[in-house]
Structure 1
């Protein structure tokens, strides 16, 4: 695997949902249905992806592989974090009640 120049977009509809695409291809290979669900993409950053690169919630090798094979990588919001926040909120209500 080599280096890959990648654009990252965030969804205006879903908090913490990101779409990674190869810079030179842009959104050309992203299916219309996904673009419709994702909303009007908001450009976050451009970066050089290498297998060794550390990403917050994805393995760089997985992202590179999906970019090469399907033309995009969709990073979904962390469901567990939302559940944990709800539990934490419930716990704080119980302990302060």
Structure 2
């Protein structure tokens, strides 16, 4: 399965995978409003043995088959860990 990857020019580290190149009609309007415009970055073959850096390739394939798109957002920021103070 081929996937076409676009990065959001509005939100850093946010990507949309499309099953059909340049078919933005499958993306919900609310998502387009918050992330568009998009810039094409990559065409990739999503084979069963393909690994992706920030997404589960099987989930991406499933979303592309069922919805025509997959949304990849940056992970939430880590909550800082507060270390207890030592009383010396």
TM class by smaller structure: 0.7 to 0.9
What's the C-alpha RMSD, in Å, of the aligned pairs?
A: 2.1
2:36 to 28, 34, 39: 39
Deviation, structure 1 residue 83: 2.7
2:25 to 25, 28, 43: 28
User: What TM-score, normalized to structure 2?
Assistant: 0.80
For structure 2, the residue ranges without an aligned partner over 5 or more in a row are: 81-88
2:54 to 47, 52, 57: 57
Deviation, structure 1 residue 11: 0.7
Q: Residue 25 and residue 64 in structure 1: after superposition, are their counterparts in 2 closer, same or farther (change >3 A)? A: farther
User: What TM-score, normalized to structure 1?
Assistant: 0.74
2:5 to 4, 8, 11: 8
Give me the whole-angstrom Cα distance separating, in 1, the residues matched to 2:71 and 2:33: 14
- In terms of fraction of residues, the more helix-rich structure is 1
For structure 1, the residue ranges without an aligned partner over 5 or more in a row are: 88-97
Question: Structure 1 runs of 4+ off > 2 angstroms?
Answer: 23-26
Say if 2:78 is the partner of 1:83: yes
CA contact (8 A) 2:8 2:38 kept: yes
